[in-house]
Each structure stands twice: as structure tokens, then as C-alpha cells.
Amino acid sequence: MGNKGLCGAPCFHFSECKIEKSRKWNAHIVLTYILSAAIVATLLVAFLCILKFRKHKVVNNSEVDQSGARWRRISYYEIQQATDRFNDGNLLGVGSFGRVYKGVLSYGTNVAVKVFNLGLEGAFRSFDAECEILRSVRHRNLTKIISSCSNMDFKALILSYMPNGSLERWLHSEHHGLSMIQRLNIMIDVAEAMDYLHNGGSVPIIHCDLKPSNILLDEDMVAHVTDFGIAKLLSGDDSITQTMNLATIGYMAPGEFLI
């Protein structure tokens, strides 16, 4: 008497016991949580497997690119069509050994076509140097070479197109400006590119002409070092002395061009 928590069979005038029902309800909740956790874990494992597969696929594609197996040969006629017969309206810039044009290949890819002026002294050597270096390096902060076109009368490199142009344009134009964060990011990008050239391969590479006009910015404002026409491979003891006086107009020490 007076024990309100007492329960039992209704025939004995006790209130109905709900312990068993409550246990069943708790078991149902536990089972639901277990199944939900199992589903989430399965989805997570599947996602990690897909991510690992895609990463492995990207690595394999990079290896194929380095071997040149998938490089597409581009003819002079295709370059001529892509640049609208080297129309001045597609001119991106003029360098020491030639001109750079924007081009659109037949399958819609935007490219930069660097056409060497073979009448200039050193143009053949510059073309050979860029081919030698760009075919053996791969880094997110270096300009990617897509293909080349070469014969006795015409030499050109087909490079990735950088929609935001050169760093020089952003530093010296009234219509463009860089925030401090963007400047720091560009300096880090260039420093990583230089570290890769100096220490990332079996033979150190010295750019010899690092300046704002030779740093290009992609659609995400990521910096890419370009123009390896006078770069040097330090494969011998006397190569260091050969780099001391190399540069073109506008060259500044790497740490100064963003100040």
C-alpha cells in the first residue's frame, strides 16, 4: 500500500508494468544507432577508396605525361589556325627571342604559343634550352609545356595559357592591384618553384632571368615561372661562373620584385 512504483498483474489490482516495453523501445533505439553508424562507416570507407583510386590515377597520368607518351603533335598549320595567322590581336607579349600569341586549338583548348624569331642570334639556342629543361621538369608553379613545333624555318612552343597575364602587368598598371595576401602567395609560389629547380632534380637548374614579366598568373592567381631561354643546367664545375652575368632587361633579385 502506498507504493506507487509497484506494478504487476491487473488481476491483483496492480498497475501494468512497462519495463519490458521500455526495454524493447531502448533496444530499438540502440539498433537504429548501430545501423546508422554502420551505414556511415561504409560510406566513409567507400569515399576513401574512391579518393585513393583517383589519386593513384592522377599519379599514373603524371607519369605518362613525363614520358611524353600522350603529347599530341601540333603542326605549323594548326598553330597558324589557332592564332588566326599570328594576328596582332592575339599577341600576349614580346620577349628577347620572339613573340607569344594566344591560340585556341581545334578542340577548344586555350594555349600560349611562343614563336621564336630565328633571325635573332641565340634564338636556336634558346629554343633548345627551353625544350631541354621543360621536358624534364614538372611542378605546379612552373609553366607547363604542351607540345612544340620545329623545323629549319619555324620553331615554337605550345604552353599552358595563363588568363591573368604576367606579374609585371599587375605591379605596374593603374587598372590592376594586388593585396598583401596575394603578394605573399605569389612570393611563396615563386620560392617553391625556385627550390624545385635548385633541389628537386638530379641536376640543379638556374633560371638566370627571374623577373615580373617572366612570372605568369593563372585563373586562381597562382604564380608560374616561365621563360627558360637562358637557363643553365649546373652539370659541371664551371657552370656557376657561366650564370653570373646572365639576365635580360628588367631582371631583379628574386626577393625584390614584389617590394
State the catalytic residues: 209
> Alpha carbon of 112 to those of 11, 37, 213, 253: distances in Å?
94, 51, 15, 26
Three cell numbers, residue 129: 634550352
Q: Is 114 annotated as a binding residue?
A: yes
Instruction: Give the separation between CA 7 and CA 247, rounded to whole angstroms.
Output: 97
The annotation places the binding site for ATP at 114
The annotation places the binding site at 114
